[in-house]
Amino acid sequence: METNIKNNLWQARQRSGLERKQVGFLLSKKSIDEISRYERGVYLPSLKTALKFEIIYQTPVRLLFQELFEQSRREISEIKERQANSLPGDRWFVKDAEQLKQEEFCFYAELLKSRVPSSPELEAVTKHTIALINAVSDYKQGRKPFSA
């Protein structure tokens, strides 16, 4: 599928230290041209290929395709606002990106199990862990950490 969606595939590949040829091998591609087209946003990968990128780069798909994720989130939010009477109450919808980051599966734990993380990754793990501890503490004290 042709597109012009910006993504973070090139940055993720650079951070991983992999060459296009190595990524192509892991994705069972015969040519690095397709990897280049994905990185430039000429092609949008299938869901299966996007999930493989997540595995290869150990980065959630929503971060690899952050612009598309944010665009999709805005679209859903607009639909929700227009059709508020047709949908359940506010609790079903994540209000902001920070809440989403704290509610998603903790990929940082998987990172720590799989390899020694870099200093920026350790900093992110620390911030994430502190935020989770604070949220649990708020819940224990009867406060709702994600309330507006």
CA pair distance 48, 119, nearest whole angstrom: 30
CA pair distance 52, 27, nearest whole angstrom: 7
The series of mean pLDDT values per 10 residues for the chain, 148 residues long, is 79 93 95 94 95 94 91 88 73 56 58 71 78 83 71
pLDDT of 95: 56
pLDDT of 148: 46
pLDDT of 94: 53
Total length of the chain: 148
pLDDT of 133: 84
2 DSSP assignment: B
Question: Of 146, 139, 111, 138, which Cα lies nearest the Cα of 126?
Answer: 111
Residues 6 or more apart whose CB falls under 8 angstroms from that of 24 comprise 30, 31, 32, 34, 35
- List the structure tokens of 133: 């501890």
